[in-house]
Amino acid sequence: MRQEQIDRINELARKAKTEGLSPEETEERDRLRKAYIADFRSSLEAHLDNTYVVDAKGNKTKLKKKR
């Protein structure tokens, strides 16, 4: 997600607290938030895919998905 999009999310959040948002701005905010969450999740999943747990004997075990 680009910094401009994050700045726009923050701008809409500030405006929602002070003046309120129009229906178009509310839709834009929701769309940007969903995109931000999707990017965050994919980044976290990629990080966890490269994470290993080391036990007391020094054995490395890759994390497994719970699904």
pLDDT tens, residue order, the chain (67 aa): 899 999 999 999 999 999 999 999 999 999 999 999 999 999 999 999 999 999 999 999 998 888 7
pLDDT of residue 64: 85
Q: Which CATH architecture has domain 3-62?
A: Orthogonal Bundle (1.10)
Q: E strand or H helix at 52, and its extent? A: strand 52-54
Per-residue pLDDT at 38: 96
Q: pTM here?
A: 0.75
Q: What is the pLDDT of residue 66?
A: 82
Q: How many residues does the chain have?
A: 67
Domain ranges of the chain: 3-62
How far apart CA 58 and CA 56 sit, in angstroms, is 5
Return d(Cα 24, Cα 18) in angstroms, integer: 17
pLDDT on residue 67: 74
Do the beta carbons of residue 47 and residue 53 sit within 8 Å?
no
